[in-house]
Structure 1
Amino acid sequence: MSHIAVERNRRRQMNEHLKVLRSLTPALYIKRGDQASIIGGAIDFIRELQQVLESLEARKKRRSSSFSTSPTPSPRSSLLTTTTGSRSSSSSPTTTAAAKELAACCNSPVADVEAKISGSNVLLRTLSRRIPGHALRMIALLEALHLEVLHLNISTMDDTVLHSFVLKANHH
């Protein structure tokens, strides 16, 4: 086969694979239709799926260990970290004001909650058992706290639901 035919075949395969990748990735992860955006969106989607899997595995461990004598984490137990670049470190509330990003986690018997704050934007994820009408109640509560819901993604698996919010803090 000539070099031109081999290259044409390779491009055809790449385009077919990109079509499949795009069809498997939710549209909200792909900003544009170019190759880099499709691949980047798929990477972001896979990372979020990995986080869901880790959360589900942690929940499964907590449920199996709840039959033992180990205490369940309280809803108020939280971990604050500030992120500047790719490094994370524990921080006191006084130094978080100058931080570029603030993250907090709360694992309770009701839900696992993760919040990341960057400027006026908030990424909020909750992992809990499925409760009818829960998403609407959370949206109402967030709006009462002057947080505008820019985007909401709801993923379910069996009786578990992951709510991923992108919020904007409205200062009133």
Structure 2
Amino acid sequence: MSHITVERNRRRQMNEHLKVLRSLTPSFYIKRGDQASIIGGAIEFIKEMQLVLQSLEAKKKRKSLSPSPTPSPRSLFQFNPSPPNSNTPLESDSSQTVKELGACCNSPVADVEAKFSGSNVILRTLSKRIPGQVVKIVSALERLDFEILHLNISSMEDTVLYSFVIKIGLECQLSLEDLAVEVQQCFCQDMIY
């Protein structure tokens, strides 16, 4: 076989693999059709699935040990303000780094994390399942001039993880830290917006 034929076969095979990868990854994760976007989107999707896997493993471990009270949400899902293998170290007590990359606001009721992803914000909340809670969060986000681009809901038993991708409105003046606090207040208030 000539070098040209070998290279043509390699490119064809690579394109076929990228098509399969794109078909297996939810369209939300892939912003464009180029190779880098497909691979980057698949990486983000795999990270989300790792969170789900961790929660299922924790559930399996709990059931194998003994029937005990329901664990706190933090033991089921782990929030990471920066992605693993990131070049930027993130110490949990470093407020300067957290303000730049993301913000967390945790309480016994819910854990809230907000971080930048390009020009959008990824907002995650983890709590016990509360009827009508997602409506309160959506109302608060709209009131704060955010546009919801995507919402993913993952639940296990009585714990729920809401993952939002939101676009920052032109009138919005909130920092990520303020956003996390505002959403956290949705869990602490009984009133509906």
Q: The TM-score by the shorter chain falls in which range?
A: 0.5 to 0.7
Q: Which structure 2 residues correspond to residues 2-81 of structure 1 after superposition, within 5 A?
A: 2-58=2-58, 67-68=67-68, 73=72
Q: Answer yes or no: is the 8 Å Cα contact 1:73–1:107 preserved in 2.
A: no
Q: Distance in 2 between matches of 1:38 and 1:4?
A: 26
In the other structure, the counterpart of 2:188 is none
Q: Answer yes or no: is the 8 Å Cα contact 1:82–1:89 preserved in 2.
A: no
| Structure 2 letter corresponding to 1:115 | E
Q: Distance in 1 between matches of 2:6 and 2:97?
A: 56
**What is the root-mean-square deviation of aligned Cα atoms in Å?**
4.3
Percent of aligned positions that are identical: 51
SS in 1 for 2:45: helix
Which of structures 1 and 2 has the larger relative contact order (alpha carbons within 8 angstroms, sep 6+)? 2
**Cα distance change on mapping 1:2 and 1:55 into 2, 3 Å:** same
Q: Distance in 1 between matches of 2:72 and 2:155?
A: 23
Report the count of equivalent residues.
162
As a proportion of its length, which structure holds more helix?
2
As a proportion of its length, which structure holds more strand?
1
**Cα distance change on mapping 1:16 and 1:97 into 2, 3 Å:** closer
Q: Answer yes or no: is the 8 Å Cα contact 1:96–1:102 preserved in 2.
A: no
In the other structure, the counterpart of 2:191 is none
TM-score by length of 1: 0.65
TM-score by length of 2: 0.59
SS in 2 for 1:88: coil
Residue segments in structure 1 that go unaligned for 5+ positions in a row? none
